[in-house]
Structure 1
Amino acid sequence: MTTKKILIVDDEAAIVAVLEELLTEEGYTIIKAYNGLEAISIFNKKQHIDLMIVDYCMPHLNGRRVIETMRQNPRYSTTPVIVITGSEKQFSNFPEDSTYQFLIEKPFNLERITETVHKLLG
């Protein structure tokens, strides 16, 4: 059985570390990007990704732009996405609802993260 790969994109290293530890314990392989540009680089390398968890508010390239770039690539057009944010969803440049599957607000409950990941990856 192949281990499912999750791309975590967040500019806060502590959040990436917590999610990596949590999801590694659940048996997933973690790929990390600390900003949107690193995520784009991973897409360009055509690395296999089963799920992406992306922060909305990041410098250089926000979560919306990361998701839009991901969706333009046929390889990732149907990859499930979880958006995590400490921001209000009312922003006009927030990702469109149809581009992601779940929105989880910071501070988040770790159990909710694992339940959501299991729901999306089976």
Structure 2
Amino acid sequence: MSPSSSALILIADGTEEMEFTITYDTLVRAGISTTSAFVSERDAHASESLPFAKGSRGINIMPDSYLDHNCGPDKYDLLVIPGGAKGADTISKSHAVQQLVREYYEKKLVAMI
């Protein structure tokens, strides 16, 4: 990836904290502009303030934004999906994420931990 590359990393309640934070940190240290997006179990409204994502070990992490239509492969070069059973379940059931994975798979890079 080039120095001007960008990455989107998804997070939900139940995401494994280490998989999220170590990946986020590594990308930032590599000079990759990194944004985290919260995937909610329910539809979130733009007017709502960002929640903390409660990780699988109870650590609260503040995402940069909600997952929305601006998170596509036209804006980011890489889509990262960390694990953690509950978080992975929420993320995998999201129709928006399913569509996003297809778009990134066709045009860019997808990483799943």
Q: Alignment length, in residue pairs?
A: 79
Q: Deviations over 1:14-35 (max 9, x none)?
A: 4322112111111111111243
Cα contact 1:20–1:30 (8 A) shared by 2: yes
Aligned to 1:21: 25
CA distance, structure 2, for counterparts of residue 7 and residue 62 of structure 1: 16
Q: 1:35 to 1:12 in 2, by over 3 A?
A: farther
| Greater helix share, structure number | 1
The question of 1:83 aligning with 2:108 is answered no
One of 42, 45, 60 as aligned partner of 2:70:
45
Unaligned runs of 5+ in 1: 85-122
Runs of 4+ in 1 over 4 A off after TM superposition: 63-67
Q: Identity of counterpart residues, as a percentage?
A: 14
Q: Deviations over 1:54-108 (max 9, x none)?
A: 13542433278565211565xx441210111xxxxxxxxxxxxxxxxxxxxxxxx
Look up the equivalent residue of 1:20 and give its one-letter code. Y
Aligned to 1:69: 99
Q: Secondary structure at the match of 2:80?
A: strand
Aligned to 2:45: none
CA distance, structure 1, for counterparts of residue 94 and residue 109 of structure 2: 14
Aligned CA-pair RMSD: 3.2
Q: Which has the higher contact order (CA 8 A, sep 6+)?
A: 2
